[in-house]
């Protein structure tokens, strides 16, 4: 955002990790929250245009759980209104759309390599960008603006990846295909148990998308299922199994923003956030453990 010199308002969603909204605010910009769609929990593209004002400079959509946004619709809106697009692609390392890496779309995509992600360097990340000049500017910002022993061309900070994290990443990169296919087996096992269960929903695989199986979220309808999201969360925890209310709370409900935003303006996000649970998912999770988790979920209250 800093490298692009964004100003004014940025359209984004509240169904995300804290940093998406914080980054906007910390850059002196105003987040304008757009609701999400119930199909894949990404930005509802039909609601973007009504939020655009003359102050809007960019859209910051979030690819959620490995589901990708409606890239084509977003690109069209951005072009029509001359807006930049920066994707929060933290969940989508390794995801492909129509055969292209998910970082290949306008104008920039930000990946997280935090220890909890599909690919990790312990801490770290990467930005993919279209315009070489933008890449230069980002490079400047991450290394104090230092371009040579006697040249400092920008007012940058220290946002470099350290050597140890880079080495960790190189090791993990060798196993990424294996990591993703093992995750797929876990997800398939969850689906085997939970498909067709009244009151439990999960999203379908998206068309033209090669996924990374980063998360397995279920949406719980208490009326139909008999137990709420929070009931399941607590039952699992009582068995030492830690699912995650992710993303809950919405960023526009955070204490630090309580006097600024109203989550009532994003009702779909609010409902999903109150009813979603991401189940344990990692490459080495055994299928027997998945069976056990599903048995606890489906046990009578």
Sheet of strand 125-129, all strands in order from the earlier edge strand to the far edge: 30-33, 9-12, 56-60, 84-88, 108-112, 125-129
Shortest Å distance, C-beta 277 to ligand PLP: 16
Quick check: helix, strand or coil at residue 46?
helix
Is 114 near ligand PLP (CB under 6 A)?
A: yes
# residues near ligand PLP by CB under 6 A: 11
The contact pattern for ligand PLP, residues 14-53, with x = CB under 6 A and - = no contact, is --xx-xx---------------------------------
C-alpha distance from residue 190 to each of 4, 107, 180, 203 (Å): 42, 35, 15, 12
Closest approach, Cβ 227 to ligand PLP, in A, equals 27
Nearer to ligand PLP, 93 or 233 (CB): 93
x/- site string to ligand PLP, residues 277 to 296, per CB under 6 A? --------------------
Site track for ligand PLP across 121-150, x = CB under 6 A: ----x-------------------------
Measure Cα distances from 223 to 198, 199, 227, 272, 274 in Å.
10, 7, 8, 15, 14
Sign of CA pseudo-dihedral 72, 73, 79, 85:
negative
Cis peptide before 117 (omega within 30 of 0): no
Q: Strands 9-12 and 30-33, how do they pair?
A: parallel
Q: How far is the CB of 148 from ligand PLP (least distance, A)?
A: 29
Provide φ and ψ at 249, rounded to 5°. Answer: -75, 165
What tokens were used for 68?
């990708």
Closest approach of ligand PLP to the CB of residue 17, in Å: 4
Q: Among 42, 112, 121, 273, which residue sits at the site for ligand PLP (rule: CB under 6 A)?
A: 112
Sheet of 200-201: strands edge to edge?
A: 200-201, 216-220, 276-279
Q: Which is nearer to ligand PLP, 161 or 197 (CB)?
A: 161
87-106: contacts with ligand PLP (CB under 6 A): 88, 90-91
Establish if 62 lies at the interface with ligand PLP (CB under 6 A): yes
CB of 134 to ligand PLP, least distance (A): 19
Question: Which residues contact ligand PLP (rule: CB under 6 A)?
Answer: 16-17, 19-20, 62, 88, 90-91, 112, 114, 125
């Amino acid at each position: 955002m800093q490298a692009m010199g964004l100003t004014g308002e940025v359209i984004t969603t509240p169904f995300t990790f804290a940093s998406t909204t914080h980054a906007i605010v910390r850059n002196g910009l105003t987040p304008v929250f757009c609701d999400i769609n119930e199909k894949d929990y990404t930005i509802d593209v039909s609601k973007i245009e009504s939020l655009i004002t003359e102050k809007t400079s960019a859209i910051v959509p979030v690819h959620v759980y490995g589901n990708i946004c409606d890239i084509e619709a977003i690109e069209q809106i951005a072009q029509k209104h001359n807006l930049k697009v920066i994707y929060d692609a933290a969940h989508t390392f390794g995801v492909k759309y129509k055969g292209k890496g998910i970082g290949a779309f306008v104008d920039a995509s930000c990946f997280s390599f935090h220890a909890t992600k599909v690919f990790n360097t312990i801490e770290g990340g990467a930005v993919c960008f279209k315009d070489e000049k933008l890449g230069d500017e980002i490079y400047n910002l991450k290394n104090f603006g230092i371009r040579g022993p006697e040249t400092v061309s920008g007012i940058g900070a220290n946002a470099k990846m350290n050597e140890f994290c880079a080495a960790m990443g190189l090791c993990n990169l060798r196993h990424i295909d294996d990591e993703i296919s093992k995750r797929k087996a876990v997800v398939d096992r969850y689906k085997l148990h939970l498909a067709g269960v009244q009151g439990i929903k999960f999203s379908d695989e998206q068309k033209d998308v090669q996924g990374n199986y980063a998360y397995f979220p279920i949406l719980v309808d208490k009326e139909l299922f008999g137990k709420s999201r929070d009931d399941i969360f607590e039952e699992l925890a009582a068995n030492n199994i830690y699912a995650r209310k992710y993303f809950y709370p919405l960023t526009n409900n955070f204490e630090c923003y309580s006097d600024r935003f109203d989550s009532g303006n994003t009702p779909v996000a609010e409902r999903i956030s109150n009813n979603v649970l991401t189940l344990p998912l990692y490459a080495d999770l055994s299928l027997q453990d998945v069976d056990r988790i599903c048995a606890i979920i489906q046990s009578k209250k």
